Amino acid sequence: MVTPLKEEDLSKHYILSYKPNAKYAYTAGQAQSKYLLGLKEGKIYGRKCNKCGRIHVPPKMYCEECFRPTDEWVEVKDEGIVMTAVASFISWTRAKLEEPEIVGVIRLLPSNDRDFVYPGIFHRICASYEQVKSMEIIGKRVKAVWKPKEERKGSIEDIQCFKVI
């Protein structure tokens, strides 16, 4: 049986002092773990679907086009084409920037001409604000600028930016 609250009980506030001892542990998963380990080695890995020929970078264990498991790991080039680019005057920490940071999507080049790499990496681009404003950067071929091997951690930050070649 549920007892209804009295009106005087509704105005009472209770303070509970408790500090949870929450500990979190998670894995990057099979696809992301291989991808991140590859970045540490200076390599970019994707997952290929042999049915449609797409190589997913970042890798996915299931093809979004065919709705089936991807088939194999492939190494793609650390070169690509700038698909989108924006100039951000706000930093990753939300601080205002005097000089903008240029970011965009780079569709990486496959290991051979029959493959199609999809969708691409969102990353920094070593370009000027004027190149973005005029849209000159769109469609340019770029190459990854890697951190020195001893500084790599297995993070997307192991690539400093993509520079026009």
User: What value does the mean pLDDT take over residues 65-91?
Assistant: 94
**pLDDT at 82 exceeding the cut of 70:** yes
Residue 1, classed as helix, strand or coil, is: coil
Residue-range domain boundaries for the chain: 26-162
What percent of the chain lies above the pLDDT cut of 70?
88
pLDDT in tens, 109-158: 886 666 777 778 999 999 999 999 999 999 999 999 999 999 999 999 99
Burial 10-47 (b: 16+ CB within 10 A, else e): eeeeeeeeeeeeeeeeeeeeebeebbbebbeeeebbbb
Give the model's confidence band at 41: pLDDT under 50 very low, under 70 low, under 90 confident, else very high. very high
Residue 27 confidence (pLDDT): 80
**pLDDT at 8 exceeding the cut of 90:** no
Residue 109 confidence (pLDDT): 86
Average pLDDT, the chain: 89
Residue 165 confidence (pLDDT): 93
Q: In angstroms, rounded to a whole number, what is the distance separating the alpha carbons of residues 142 and 120?
A: 13
Residue 96 confidence (pLDDT): 94
Residue 118 confidence (pLDDT): 78
Which residues make Cβ contacts (< 8 Å) with residue 113, sequence separation at least 6? none
Q: Is the pTM of this model over 0.85?
A: no
